Structure 1
Amino acid sequence: MTHFSAPARRRPALMLIALVLVALNLRLAITSAAALLTLLTESGALNSATVVLIPAIPTAVFAVAGVSTARLAGRWGVERTVAVGLAVLSVGLLIRAIPSPWIVVLGTVVATGGLAVVNILLPAVVRAHFGRSIGTVTTVYSTAMSLGAATAAATAVPVAVAVGSPTVGLAAWAVPALIALAVWAVVMPIARPARPAAPAPEAGVRRERAAYPAGTWLLASFFAIQSLLSYVVMGWLPTIATDAGLSPERAGLLLGITMAVGVPATVLVMPLARGAGRMRVGFAVVGSATTAGVLGLLFAPLALPEVWAGLLGLGMCAFPLALALIATIGTDAAESARVSTAVQSIGYTVATLGPLGAGALHQAAQSWTPVLVLLVVGAAAQITVGVVLTGVVWRRRPGGDR
């Protein structure tokens, strides 16, 4: 069973600030590395084998970490587990300062392991402490994630140049993670909750695992597709852009634009999570935006690259739509945590094929064209699964908007 500390009702504003600071860090490790892939390879900090691994590590680690996250949260309490995840994230980021290919890989594994724990538990934290404002708070922290990712993507190359090393530039992103950890530890109620004694099962009665709510596996499928698309973009967009002829600085800025567009776009898209009809529109909008952005990169990468990046950013708003469904699909915060663990574990396991497969396919074909074509196919599949998922989720809600 997942345990939550009692909500601290007297300081909701401070708790929201802590949540936002944590959310700012949830993509920094990923987008900063993506923006620096070219410089890391040129400096010898990555080689031909490890440069393919770096974009694929986040989804793979997210999947593995998801298996044990609910168990850790049940043992330590959700808020304390988030604090541990932030500490692990900070350590992993600092490890990446060492300019050795496999050490950079190790640091990325450690950092994304901590990041994965936090990523999985935040929807449950929102449900537990902001139960009356789930949609609003999910919008706020999703926006913070986009803002942090955009900042890291746009400034990673200038920061690395300023400190004189791409690996030290990677490690510099441990600073905001440490700040978030300090604020979280002070503000959030992270004391380990007392566990009630479990009632003994009646003789002859077999205890069975509770079934997942209707729509959980469709939600996992949607989450897998949107994660696959998003992490290919986050991991490889700067490299795709530089291979097309853009400078590393401008290529990193493109990823920054992609992530920055998520800030206002999330605010505009999240109201579409209220009601089945509007949710279908939301899935169609984000899927179509991804399709248009990828087609732009495929047929005219140098014509309007900032426009293509912006469309891809709008497409990434599939993620906050998925988070909103995760936070509401359960009957309470504990079930939301269980659904979140299952959905994100399965989703990220499948999504690992995206960044890793994209890198391998590019190396084999010596072209990004096959990768971009498959992304268009994935966007179409995302729209289809999203529409079906909407019908299933809202049918199980009494009086739900159809």
Structure 2
Amino acid sequence: MTTRTRPSFALVLTALLLLAVNLRLAVTSASALLTLLVGDGALTPSTAMLVPALPTAMFALAGLFTPWLAARIGAGSAVSWGVSALAAGMLLRIVPSPVAVVAGTVIATAGLAVVNILLPALVRATAGGRVGAVTTAYTTVMSLGAAAAAAAAVPVAHAFGSASLGLGAWAVPAVLAVVVWTVVARRAGVDAAIPAPPKAERGPLPGGTWALTAFFALQALSSYVIMGWLPTIAIDAGIAETRAGVLLGLAMALGIPATVVIVALSRTAARLRVGVLIVGLASAAGMIGFWVAPAAAPELWAVLLGIGMCAFPLVLALIARIGDGPSDSARVSAVAQGVGYAVATVGPLGAGAWHGAGGSWGFVLALLLVGAIAQCVIGLVLARTSHASSAAGSAAEDAAVEAELTGAAPRPVSAP
């Protein structure tokens, strides 16, 4: 009789990081190549506007069916199916056809959304006492993957001589992740390590839930308009295609050090207000820059937008402070993500429709500027409310924030 050897932590970590590096490749690589894909006939102007809107739509749907799927077949198996769908969808996008590219994006982002939601729980189940370090590692790798795909997508497409082949080339890391994760998850017994999600509680939602949902929706809407359309905005302003992709890569890469600072600011309610102001003002300044003088200092505008996209840790901090305990935080998280991502889909879809109809990017950026101001105001109100309701419990707050940031909350929280 043979015994099955459990994989080492290093191998499990490798599998988790391979999953993480793929979580934004499908989004940023397509965004950087939209103009080239339209030029090659792989997308039409009308289908191109759908591609940036699909991630948020899939996140909203995944928030509904992923807990059911994980409870039915196990979280590890659900992740295996998710990353397989991600790889299959990205491979399908090699076909230079609008139907293939859109269908591949639907399949890929649906799989991506499943993995995105379950990854924090997988980290908690497999990392032991290293949860914080592993969480930092996977979020860093995720941002690096997104930045690399955005910056290198155009050069890779030029090297292949085809935008479609260049887009499909980013399926290679996903295929590798499928192979490694399937083997490691089976040998590590991941499904048995993650308990079934708790049943949803009924009753009134905590006060501030809908304001928090509005804050979540505004930051997600802004982030995915930037992630989906920034290269096109830059190209339409006369910036070269390769440089336009690098701008998105710069914004995504800046999220790594900026998030560390923002997470530190989210530890207390007083400093949380400072974090809200930083991301809000940075977003506003970057949008004004691309609106008024896009070609004057595009790298600076991209840096500011990258700082503004770091609002997500603030959302986690606010979720952790709302209600009377972890169960309330889990319920608020479910509402904020489900409704927030559904509303956020309007952003990239509306921006694409406006652009397709011949509208200027100035109008889109002006609306995003209004949204950034509204997000800032709502965030400041929420931070003050959370401070007033929890001034006596700062230690408990910090523990709750740590739980949210490391995926320890009852319901896994997905990254933006």
TM-score range, shorter chain: 0.7 to 0.9
Q: Does 1:154 align with 2:154?
A: no
Give the aligned partner of residue 278 of structure 2: 285
Which of 51, 56, 70 is the equivalent residue of 1:54? 51
- The two structures, once aligned, show a CA RMSD in angstroms of 3.1
Determine which of 117, 120, 130 is the counterpart of 1:120.
117
TM-aligned CA deviation for residue 140 of structure 1: 3.1
Q: Which of residues 160, 165, 171 in structure 1 aligns to 2:162?
A: 165
2:345 is the alignment partner of 1:352: yes
Q: Contact conserved, 1:95 with 1:104, CA < 8 A, in 2?
A: yes
Deviates more, 1:383-392 or 1:65-74: 383-392
Give the 3 Å change call, closer, same or farther, for CA 226–39 of structure 1 in structure 2: same
SS in 2 for 1:359: helix
Cα-to-partner distance string for 1:62-115 (whole Å, 9 max, x where unaligned): 212221111111112223222221111111101101100111000000000001
Residues 140/380 of structure 1: CA separation in 2 closer, same or farther (3 Å cut) = farther
- 2:296 corresponding residue in structure 1: 303
Displacement of 1:348 in angstroms is 1.1
Are the counterparts in 2 of residues 121 and 340 from structure 1 also a CA contact under 8 Å? no
Partner of residue 176 from structure 1, selected from 165, 173, 178: 173
Distance 1:298 1:47, change over 3 A: same
State the distance in 1 between where 2:375 and 2:368 align.
Answer: 10
Residues 1:224 and 1:300: Cα distance change in structure 2 (over 3 Å): same
Q: Contact between 2:266 and 2:313, CA under 8 Å: does it hold in 1?
A: no
Q: Is the partner of 2:296 in helix, strand or coil?
A: coil
CA offsets, 1:345-393, max 9 Å, x none? 2211000000011112233453111101011111112212222333455
Amino acid in structure 1 at the alignment position of 2:394: G
CA deviation after TM superposition for structure 1 residue 336, in Å: 7.0
**Judging changes above 3 Å, is the alpha-carbon distance between structure 1 residues 243 and 166 closer, same or farther for their aligned structure 2 residues?**
same
Question: Identity across aligned pairs (percent)?
Answer: 58
Distance in 2 separating the partners of 1:140 and 1:184: 17
Q: Partner of 1:314 in structure 2?
A: 307
Is 1:388 aligned to residue 381 of structure 2?
yes
Q: Which moved more, 1:167-176 or 1:187-196?
A: 187-196
Q: Does residue 32 in structure 1 map to residue 29 in structure 2?
A: yes
CA contact (8 A) 1:126 1:137 kept: yes
Q: Which amino acid aligns with 1:156?
A: A
SS in 2 for 1:317: helix
Specify the SS of the correspondent of 1:85. Answer: helix
2:76 and 2:194 map into 1 onto residues whose CA distance is: 15
1:1-12 maps to which residues of 2 (within 5 A)?
Answer: 12=9
Q: Secondary structure at the match of 1:277?
A: helix
Rounded Cα–Cα distance in structure 2 between residues aligned with 1:150 and 1:299: 25
Match of 2:15 among 18, 30, 50: 18
Structure 1 residue runs without a partner (length 5+): 1-8, 198-206
Distance 1:351 1:158, change over 3 A: same
Q: Supply the distance in 2 between the matched residues of 1:307 and 1:157 (Cα, whole angstroms).
A: 21
How big is the shift at 1:326?
5.6
State how far apart, in whole Å, the 2-side matches of 1:363 and 1:196 are: 47
* Aligned 8 A contact 2:321 2:386 in 1: no
- For the pair 1:367 / 2:366, whether they are aligned, the reply is no
Aligned partner of 2:393 in structure 1 is 399
Q: Distance in 2 between matches of 1:284 and 1:295?
A: 16
- Segments of structure 2 that go 5 or more residues without pairing to the other structure are 1-5, 398-416
Residues in 1 aligned to 2:148 and 2:291: alpha-carbon distance in whole angstroms = 26
CA drift at 1:142: 2.4
- Alpha carbons 2:318, 2:383 under 8 Å: kept: no
The range that moved more, 304-313 or 78-87, is 78-87
Return the letter of the residue paired with 1:164: G
- The one-character-per-residue Cα deviations of 1:200-239 (angstroms, maximum 9, x if unpaired) are xxxxxxx964766665544432221111001100111111
How much does 1:287 deviate? 1.3
1:83 aligns with 2:60: no
Report the residue type matching 1:92 in the other structure: G
Please give the TM-score of this superposition, normalised by the length of structure 2. 0.83
Deviation at residue 314 of structure 1 after TM alignment: 1.0
- Output the TM-score relative to the length of structure 1: 0.86
Residues of 2 paired with 1:76 and 1:397: CA distance? 42
Select 2:216's aligned residue among 216, 220, 223.
223
Question: Which structure 2 residues correspond to residues 124-139 of structure 1 after superposition, within 5 A?
Answer: 124-129=121-126, 136-139=133-136
**Bigger mean CA offset, 129-138 vs 297-306:** 129-138
Deviations 1:265-309 (A, max 9, x none): 122222112111122211211111111111110111111001101
In 2, Cα distance between equivalents of 1:177 and 1:350: 29
**Match status 1:378 vs 2:381:** no
The answer on 1:100 being equivalent to 2:93 is no
SS of residue matched to 2:37: helix
- Work out which of the residue numbers 257, 260, 267 in structure 1 matches 2:260: 267
| Counterpart for residue 5 of structure 1 | none
Amino acid at match of 2:177: A
Q: Which moved more, 1:334-343 or 1:299-308?
A: 334-343
Paired AA for residue 68 in structure 1: F
Q: Distance in 2 between matches of 1:121 and 1:224?
A: 21
Shift of 1:396: 5.3
